[in-house]
Chain A
Amino acid sequence: MAGDEILYMHDICKDYVMADSVLHVLKNITLTVRKGQFLAILGPSGSGKSTLMNIIGCLDVPTSGDYWLAGRYVADEDETSLSHIRNREIGFVFQSFQLLQRQTALENVELPLIYANMPEKKRKERAQECLEMVGLSDKMDNYPNQLSGGQQQRVAIARAMANHPSILLADEPTGALDQRTGAQVMELFHELNDEGNTIIMITHDSKIASHAKRIVKILDGVISEGDTSDA
């Protein structure tokens, strides 16, 4: 892995064993991402894009192949190690926001910091910082049901940034939002990327994908078209 590469995958395969056959979901995927890139992985449903995202995000391990993330080999780690890696290196943004309903915006943003064993005072400061960064410091003590969809997603983005992750990994981030709010969220992504954050976005919508500076297309478990090395 070269100095400014944040992610390097080589010959990644993922198979699912069914009752009477084996399903090859990912077939020899090779992918390099540099620090600070804004990458979109574009594919229809069933293309394997979700599976690829799970492997990138260390929620799953490949059946075979190599994966280096932030200089560390992560293809064969156990769940406990993976959870640490996720905590430190990956900032997830989900289509359905995935905020804890019974906790305030601030408490939601604190969550990854709790799992990073950050002391309480420092945690609250950092969480407030992140909410400021997405422009929601005044909604600190609100519960998710008191926030609009766009606001909830922005809280989720604040949460994703809390631990200074290597990669911001967004799965259909605007899927549950209307056009206007979606555009606001994409604007926020641009800002974050301008500040040097690496963003990988998974989507089936080519309009959304075009916000990114680099598009990788995936179909039937194979990366096709677009760049497989950095632009």
Chain B
Amino acid sequence: MFVESFRMALRNIKSNKMRSFLTMLGIVIGVAAVIGLVTIVQGVTSRVMDEFSDLGAGMMSVSAPGTALKRGLTESDVETLRAIDGVEGVSPNLSTTGSAVKNREIFDNVTIEGDDLSYFQRNSSMLEEGRIFNASEADGNTYVCMVDKTFVTKVLNGTDPIGQTVRLNGIEYTIIGRLGANNSMMSMSDTSNSDGTVYLPYRNVMHMTGTAQIQSLEVYTKDGADSSAVESALRAALDRIYNNADNAYAVINMESLLSVMDTVSGMLTTMLGGIAAISLLVGGIGIMNMMLVSVTERTREIGLRKALGAEPRRIQIQFLMESILLSLIGGAIGIVFGLLIAFIGSSVLNTTFRISYGAIALGAGFSAAVGIIFGWMPAKRASELNPIDALRAD
């Protein structure tokens, strides 16, 4: 019986393709929009989260400009921070612009960046050639440095940097390594006028600029440490250092950022779900309308079927099948279009295109539900038609 009803439903849908298509348009658009948007949103957030994770897992960035009384942290303050439970390393970050002299040529747009050894240990993938300075070379009295590709091209004319010397702000440095792209959020943006970046131990930069104050650093937490506990301890230490002054420092904990992102992403998805529900509602109303019209138009046919022996339940099932089929087909088309939209969207936004099978299953399930809910009343009405009156209709 269900097979026959299914066949009849399919035949009726096919027999008036234009009307069937217009009926399911609401569902198609609703499902397509939801699948498309949800997939794009999930792709964007997962891409951002991945990048954040790379950068930020177990890292806090601290900006500590200090107060009028105390402008920044001293080396011993940094040592205090290093001693906090759960802290793996602290890397002060000092940057300045300087000039490099090589082969009697002066390049005065060189970015000089000073970091701690722990910074380079953390971002070890940066090293492409040569080596990083070691602990003894980080004392501030040794003159070794690493350079980036731009520096090699501009200052060294593309020659192999390892072992070469260069004069930085008057002091001769030996190049021991070449670094690739810098992932750190602390680095200054690259401009095309730049003559490249040179990386020194931070103490060297402190001597160079004559400053004893550190205003910017990265704090790395040990694997498995509770990042919010470390953050609290860090803040407590900084409060002690700055005597609880207001606005003396700012701590950005990447892990909390990540969980905020997660929450926001969740909220977005829920909101989209809400919009989906509304659009499916509209689509369902469209289906109900069309089914009611269909029942009215086919009143005579229904009367005949009843006269020939169709039970009321059978008529009801036949019309329900039609509305369910309309919804499911509409949903399927919507899913295909939705994935297409998501694919195009993620190419344009350069994010990952990950098909969410959950969303697809949900889309299919909801379509079927809409077909049943909104097809119920018209189907019931059809089943309750009086055959005598129905046969007389035109």
Of A32-40, A65-73, A108-116, A173-181, the one touching chain B: A108-116
Quick one: given A60-B388, A117-B1, are A80 and B308 in contact (CB under 8 Å)? no
CA distance A216 to B216 in the complex (A): 111
Interface centre among A80, A114, A117 (most CB of B within 10 A): A114
A79:B312 contact, CB within 8 angstroms = yes
Residues of A within 8 A of B314 (CB): 115
Residues of B within 8 A of A207 (CB): none
Quick one: given A98-B300, A98-B304, A102-B15, are A115 and B310 in contact (CB under 8 Å)? yes
B313 within 8 A of A: yes
Of A18-26, A85-93, A198-206, the one touching chain B: A85-93
A100 within 8 A of B: yes
Residues of A within 8 A of B313 (CB): 80
B391 within 8 A of A: yes
Closest Cβ neighbor of A103 among chain B residues: B11
Residues of B within 8 A of A43 (CB): none
A189 within 8 A of B: no
Q: Mark B274-304, 1 if CB is under 8 A from A, else 0.
A: 0000000000000000000000000011001
CA distance A88 to B307 in the complex (A): 11
CA distance A208 to B373 in the complex (A): 51
B167 within 8 A of A: no
Total contacting residues, chain A, CB less than 8 A: 24
A160 to nearest B CB, angstroms?
9
Total contacting residues, chain B, CB less than 8 A: 21
A54 within 8 A of B: yes
> Secondary structure of the B side of the interface?
helix
Residues of A within 8 A of B306 (CB): 83, 86
Residues of B within 8 A of A80 (CB): 311-313
A36 to nearest B CB, angstroms?
23
B388:A112 contact, CB within 8 angstroms = no
Residues of B within 8 A of A54 (CB): 388
Q: Mark A46-58, 1 if CB is under 8 A from B, else 0.
A: 0000000010010
A84 within 8 A of B: yes
Q: Mark B308-334, 1 if CB is under 8 A from A, else 0.
A: 111111100000000000000000000
A59 within 8 A of B: yes
Residues of A within 8 A of B308 (CB): 86-87, 92, 111-112, 115, 159
Closest Cβ neighbor of A88 among chain B residues: B309
CA distance A57 to B15 in the complex (A): 31
CA distance A88 to B310 in the complex (A): 11
CA distance A115 to B310 in the complex (A): 6
Residues of B within 8 A of A87 (CB): 308-309
A196 to nearest B CB, angstroms?
22
Closest Cβ neighbor of A57 among chain B residues: B307
Residues of B within 8 A of A88 (CB): 309
CA distance A80 to B312 in the complex (A): 6
CA distance A60 to B11 in the complex (A): 31
55-97 of chain B: CB within 8 A of chain A: none
CA distance A59 to B312 in the complex (A): 13
CA distance A80 to B4 in the complex (A): 18
Quick one: given A83-B306, A98-B300, are A59 and B311 in contact (CB under 8 Å)? no
Q: Mark A92-132, 1 if CB is under 8 A from B, else 0.
A: 10100010101000000001101111000000000000000
CA distance A60 to B307 in the complex (A): 11
Residues of B within 8 A of A79 (CB): 311-312
Residues of B within 8 A of A112 (CB): 308-309
Closest Cβ neighbor of B306 among chain A residues: A83
Residues of A within 8 A of B307 (CB): 57, 59, 86, 92, 98
Residues of A within 8 A of B300 (CB): 98
Quick one: given A100-B301, A100-B304, are A86 and B309 in contact (CB under 8 Å)? yes
CA distance A57 to B307 in the complex (A): 9
B309:A83 contact, CB within 8 angstroms = yes
B387 within 8 A of A: yes
Quick one: given A80-B312, A83-B312, A114-B4, are A98 and B305 in contact (CB under 8 Å)? no
List A residues at the B interface (Cβ < 8 Å): 54, 57, 59-60, 79-80, 83-84, 86-88, 92, 94, 98, 100, 102, 111-112, 114-117, 159, 163
List B residues at the A interface (Cβ < 8 Å): 1, 4, 11-12, 15, 300-301, 304-314, 387-388, 391
23 cross-chain CB contacts under 8 A: A57-B307, A59-B387, A59-B388, A60-B388, A80-B311, A80-B313, A83-B306, A86-B307, A86-B309, A88-B309, A98-B300, A98-B304, A98-B307, A98-B391, A100-B301, A100-B304, A102-B12, A111-B305, A112-B308, A112-B309, A115-B309, A115-B314, A117-B1
- Which 7 pairs, one residue from A and one from B, show the smallest C-beta to C-beta distance? A87-B309, A115-B309, A112-B308, A83-B311, A80-B311, A98-B304, A102-B15
